[in-house]
């Protein structure tokens, strides 16, 4: 069984699809294997797993953590969702650009976005379970967000009348983030083997 690299966006966002073994009893797949990720160029150490369930039309994001820096490997294990990553690294040639991928339990797509990317999602099915592996442990004092509908970014969310938390409605714009001292934690650097240094 292999984990296939389906696509790569904004230099550092990977879309991965694991092979599946399926028969009339059900299915089995490997969603992360260190050796296969290394072959793709991703040398990752995950330290935390998260599981989120949301209803149709919910938009969560755009979230990130700078201390400790947190990359995320996101996948949908029930239902379907639109997974988004936005480059928020100072000096990056793709600063402010975004990518959105429809992921579902059927297509098995996983989206890897390293630290320096804000991430979010929108639920497309009646409800959806999103699971993500993180490279940093959660730290409330080191987290923040970018406004989900910041016009300077222009994410094209596939939902009318999104359901959004008060916290996400009050998030700062990309411009405000870039003016903050914390943004210095995400300086763009060239990559080695697909991993931002």
Of 51, 132, 138, 188, which one is the catalytic site residue? 132
* CB 62, CB 165: distance < 8 Å: no
Q: Give the CB-side neighbour count of residue 17, counting CA atoms within 13 A.
A: 13
Distance CA(111)–CA(164), nearest Å, equals 22
For this structure, is 63 an active site residue?
Answer: yes
What is the dihedral sign for C-alpha 15, 18, 22, 28? negative
Q: At 117, give phi and psi (nearest 5°).
A: -120, 135
Catalytic residue among 9, 51, 63, 138: 63
Question: How many angstroms from the chain centroid is the CA of residue 18?
Answer: 17
| 188 given a catalytic annotation | no
- What is the spatial distance between Cα 30 and Cα 89, in angstroms, rounded to a whole number? 31
Residues taking part in catalysis: 63, 132
């Amino acid at each position: 069984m292999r984990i296939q690299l389906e696509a790569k966006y904004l230099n550092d966002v990977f879309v991965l699809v694991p092979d599946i073994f399926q028969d009339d009893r059900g299915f089995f797949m490997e969603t992360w294997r260190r050796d296969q990720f290394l072959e793709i160029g991703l040398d990752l150490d995950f330290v935390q797993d998260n599981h989120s369930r949301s209803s149709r039309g919910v938009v969560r994001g755009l979230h990130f953590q700078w201390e400790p820096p947190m990359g995320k490997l996101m996948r949908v294990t029930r239902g379907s969702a639109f997974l988004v990553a936005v480059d928020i690294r100072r000096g990056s040639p793709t600063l402010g650009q975004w990518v959105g991928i429809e992921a579902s339990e059927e297509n098995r797509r996983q989206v890897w976005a390293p630290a320096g990317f804000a991430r979010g999602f929108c639920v497309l099915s009646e409800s959806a379970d999103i699971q993500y592996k993180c490279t940093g442990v959660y730290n409330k004092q080191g987290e923040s967000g970018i406004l989900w509908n910041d016009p300077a970014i222009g994410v094209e969310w596939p939902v009318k009348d999104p359901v959004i938390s008060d916290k996400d409605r009050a998030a700062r714009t990309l411009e405000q983030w870039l003016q903050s001292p914390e943004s210095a934690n995400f300086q763009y650097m060239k990559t080695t083997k697909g991993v931002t240094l």
